[in-house]
Amino acid sequence: MIVWLFFILVGVLVTFGVYLYFNQGRMVFIPMRELVVTPEQLNMTCEDVYIEVAPGERINAWYFPGNPGRKTILFCHGNAGNISHRLETVQFLKTFEVNVLLFDYRGYGRSDGRPTEEGVYADARAAFDWLVNEKKVAPQNIILFGRSLGGAVAVDLASKVTCGGVVVESSFTSTDELGRKMFPYFPVKFLLRFKFDSLTKIAKLTCPVLVTHSPDDDMIPVEMGRQLYEAAREPKYFIELIGSHNDRDYLENQAYIEGLRDFIFNNNGI
- Rounded CA-CA distance 191/19 in Å is 10
- Rounded CA-CA distance 42/117 in Å is 32
pLDDT band, residue 135 (cuts 50/70/90):
very high
1 has a pLDDT exceeding 80 = no
pLDDT value at residue 269: 39
- Rounded CA-CA distance 53/129 in Å is 11
pLDDT value at residue 124: 98
More confident position, 70 or 161? 161
Mean pLDDT of 138-147: 97
pLDDT value at residue 185: 58
Q: Which of 59-73, 116-130, 185-199, 222-236 comes out lowest in average pLDDT?
A: 185-199
23 has a pLDDT exceeding 80 = no
Q: Does this model's pTM top 0.85?
A: yes
pLDDT value at residue 68: 81
Long-range contacts from 115-122, C-beta under 8 angstroms, 24+ separation: 115/25, 115/29, 115/31, 116/25, 117/194, 117/195, 117/196, 119/53, 120/149, 120/153, 121/153, 121/156, 121/157, 122/53, 122/54
Helix (H, G, I), strand (E, B) or coil at 204: coil
Residue 64 region, left (φ>0) first, then alpha (ψ -120 to 50), else beta?
Answer: beta
Mean pLDDT of 229-247: 96
- Rounded CA-CA distance 250/257 in Å is 8
More confident position, 72 or 24? 72
Angle at 248 between CA 44 and CA 178, to 5 degrees: 120
Mean pLDDT of 144-169: 98
pLDDT in tens, 40-71: 999 999 999 999 999 999 999 999 999 888 89
More confident position, 20 or 249? 249
Q: Which of 9-18, 169-178, 183-192 comes out lowest in average pLDDT?
A: 9-18
CB 124 within 8 A of CB 53: no
The closest alpha carbon to 50, from 42, 39, 58, belongs to 58
Mean pLDDT of 181-204: 79
Average pLDDT value for the chain: 90
All residues at 6 or more sequence positions from 99 whose CB lies less than 8 Å from its CB, including other chains: 63, 64, 65, 66, 70, 71, 72, 73, 135, 137
22 has a pLDDT exceeding 80 = no
pLDDT band, residue 176 (cuts 50/70/90):
confident
Which residues are known catalytic residues?
Answer: 148, 217, 245
267 has a pLDDT exceeding 80 = no
pLDDT value at residue 99: 97
Instruction: Give percent of the chain with pLDDT exceeding 70.
Output: 85
Angle at 109 between CA 123 and CA 26, to 5 degrees: 80
Buried b (16+ CB within 10 A) or exposed e, 160-191: ebebbbbbbbbbbbbbbbbbbeeeeeeebeeb
The closest alpha carbon to 155, from 116, 202, 100, 123, belongs to 202
CB 82 within 8 A of CB 7: no
Structural domains in the chain, sorted by start? 2-265 (3.40.50.1820)
Please state, as a whole number, how many other Cβ atoms lie within 10 Å of the Cβ of residue 69.
8
Segments in the chain forming alpha helices (H) = 2-28, 87-94, 117-134, 149-158, 175-182, 198-202, 222-231, 254-265
pLDDT band, residue 193 (cuts 50/70/90):
confident
Q: Which of 22-36, 130-144, 217-231 comes out lowest in average pLDDT?
A: 22-36
